[in-house]
A and B are shown apart, each in its own frame.
Chain A
Amino acid sequence: MDLFLQQTLDGLATGAIYASLALAVVMIYQAIDHFNFAQGEMAMFSTFIAWQLIAWGMPFWLAFLLCLVLSFIGGMLIERIIFAPIHDAPVLSHIVVFIALTLIFNALAGFIWDFTIKEFPSPFPSQLPFETKLIGPHELGVVAITLVMLGMIYVFFKFTSVGLAMRAAAANPVSAALVGISVKKMLSLGWGLAATVGAVAGMLIAPKVYLEPNMMLGILLYGFAGAVVGGLTSPGGAVVGGFLMGVLENLAGTYVIGSELKLTFALVVIVTVLLFKPAGLFGRVVVQRV
């Protein structure tokens, strides 16, 4: 029972990592109706930027904020420069460009910063105010920040005019344009925000798994799985999905399949959910009009 509790709590902590990335995946999906296969590498690259700023002597929070700003601008630029010209191109072109970006960011990070692991500082205190062995301060911090981000995103999409405009632009670009929303601007904004959320995720993940160019591949798979389980149209769902993936992964690894098949487990979850509940647990069903 003790083991069960520990594994579950640990799963939640790892799940928070998946959840934060899943949130970024959903953000971009909301904005452009696509998955961004380069999301993980973009987050990794942002984290390296923050690391570099800290290494140059900048205080953590300043570097953190600056990194968010840079990521936001970077995301917008990627949309403007790379995706805007192929906006109407077939889906395959988009996937190809996502893959291309993945390769570019990964190799560039390796070239600039090397492939050895880097320590990334955790912004949270090293001691909890209360005594427990069950969950560490960084893990708790990650859970908290993920929930705060979720709250902010919820408020943004639900109550601000920009958020509403963004949703409208993604859901129905033609009608949105008719009511005076600049779909183009919304797309850039969406990319910028997704890159920012990704950067937060990267900076939360790095202290735990150590920063290196290849840190994201496995996490991205679980992040996708989390987003799919929760529903790609629901930020809240994605967070729940991420937590769920963390817990399920640990419990399945401990009690059922063993640690040898963990990635396969993510594959099975993705395929199963897509088959039987493609909208995920919390997503809305998208009706395709002919």
Chain B
Amino acid sequence: MKTTHLLTTVAAATLALGIGAVAAGNAPGVTDTEIKIGNTNPYSGPASSYSTIGKSIGACWNMVNANGGINGRKINWISYDDGYSPPKTKEQIRKLVESDGVAFTFQTLGTPTNSAVHAYMNKKKVPHLFVATGATKWGQPKKFPWTMGWQPNYQTVGAIFGNYILQNNPTSKVAILNQNDDYGKDYVIGMKRAMGDKFEQMVVKNETYEVTDPTIDSQIVSLAHSGADVFVNISIPKFAAQSIKKMAAIGWKPVHLLNDVAASIKSTYTPAGLENSKGIISVDFYKDPNDPEWANDSDTLAWKKFMKDFYPDGDIANKFNAYGWAVCHTMQAVLKQAGNDLSRENIMKQAASLKEVAIPMLLPGMFVDTSPTDFYPLEQMQMTKFNGTQSVRFGPLISAETE
């Protein structure tokens, strides 16, 4: 990238003027009674299935407001549709920042869409907080001091899988299926990082699919015929379910490592068949509300009550709604911590100084943790194995710090 020098200049300028400078009053969009927060989500178009995240966060703010807001301020949540089209995101974000005058943006969804506004937000010095994508590039405080991710990034998960294979199946042959986009490819990069030279030796077949592909049967057949005994499956619930079903149909029974995106009892295992899904190994960082393990868990009960009261149309089976709930609480923590100094600088500063904050729906023992040099709020995960009715956690919390 020849543009790097330009970026560094921008970043240097931002650092000099931005963080560390004296707070110059509250951010635009903040009054004594209100905080305006901007967001984009794909409410229409092909990626709409993600939009329940935006909806559940909106419902979460309604609950916050019903309970009196944060430090007496109500949240004014403005969430626009971008149809998952980067140019449209750019337009909507500029509208939010320049015309609606939001204090910051939060949980804007998608990698290509956020990429389109990455430079803009940093140039404008508007906090671009907890973006809803697991790409690795959101945690670069030096280059992009105004952008921060939230969920454990895809490369981390890939690395966890890589390490797992090295430890438990060091002589195996590995097959990989991944979605042909940044999300799918980041996992593979993470695996490569963890496995080093072993990656080339052990991986015997790597197939990809397109979201528009009707079925992935052909890919599964090819992977099965590669003779692999470990299968790393990086796919969204629709294709994960298809692959589990197909594997059962052709009788391929490798060690099955499934990415966290699809590790959901209701969205993946049930449609694929619970029996077929037995033995699938995955990782997770938040509680699957449909897992019997959490049936009487206080977090889950609170979440279910929230769903009933504030988002009755939302699907209880959909894990994304728990995700929205957890990330909304992270944002609340930042705003509470910022107190009455709601300048953009301070909001960003507080977001970058969350110290072991407990967030509902995270797995036991997990915290959100950031520092001015660590823009990855969640870096721990735990491995799980599906036993036919629930995903049983095993091993310690794995912390894969991103280099």
Contact = CB atoms under 8 A, between A and B. Distances in A.
Q: Is chain B's binding surface mostly helix, strand, loop or mixed?
A: helix
B177 to A, nearest CB: 9
B180 A218 contact: no
B267 A117 contact: yes
Interface stretch (B67-75, B236-244, B295-303): B236-244
Interface string B214-242: 11011101100100000000000110011
Most buried by A among B214, B222, B251, B270: B214
A218 B213 contact: yes
B238 A210 contact: yes
A110 B207 CA distance: 30
Contact of B48 (A110, A133, A215): A110
Interface in A41-76: none
B271 A6 contact: no
Given A117-B271, A254-B222, A262-B210, A13 B217 contact: yes
Nearest to B226: A3
B200 interface: no
Interface string A94-138: 000000000000010010001111010000000000000110100
Given A14-B215, A214-B46, A117 B238 contact: yes
A253 interface: yes
A79 interface: no
B44 interface: yes
A17 to B, nearest CB: 7
Query: B interface, how many residues as a size bin?
Result: 20 to 34
Contacts of B317: 116
A107 B215 contact: no
A215 B214 CA distance: 7
Nearest to B252: A133
Query: A interface, how many residues as a size bin?
Result: 35 or more
B212 interface: yes
B356 interface: no
B221 A136 contact: no
Contacts, number: 97
Contacts of B225: 2-3, 6
B208 interface: yes
A104 B215 CA distance: 25
Interface in B23-69: 44, 46, 48-49, 51-52
A254 B49 contact: no
Contacts of A115: 48-49, 51-52
A41 to B, nearest CB: 13
B49 A259 contact: no
B1 interface: no
B271 A10 contact: no
A218 B250 CA distance: 24
A7 interface: yes
A250 interface: yes
B6 interface: no
A133 B242 contact: no
Given A117-B238, A117-B241, A209-B242, A133 B251 contact: yes
B48 A17 contact: no
Interface in A3-39: 3, 6-7, 10-11, 13-14, 17-18
Contacts of B214: 14, 17-18, 205, 209, 215, 218-219, 222
Interface in B152-202: 180
A88 interface: no
Interface in B223-280: 225, 237-238, 241-242, 249-251, 267, 270-271
13 contacts: A6-B221, A10-B221, A13-B217, A115-B49, A117-B267, A117-B271, A119-B271, A210-B271, A214-B46, A218-B212, A260-B180, A260-B208, A263-B212
The 4 closest A-B pairs by CB, nearest first: A115-B49, A218-B212, A115-B48, A250-B218
Interface of B: 44, 46, 48-49, 51-52, 180, 207-210, 212-215, 217-219, 221-222, 225, 237-238, 241-242, 249-251, 267, 270-271, 315, 317-318
Given A18-B214, A259-B219, 9 more contacts: A115-B51, A116-B52, A208-B242, A210-B241, A212-B49, A212-B238, A217-B212, A222-B214, A259-B207
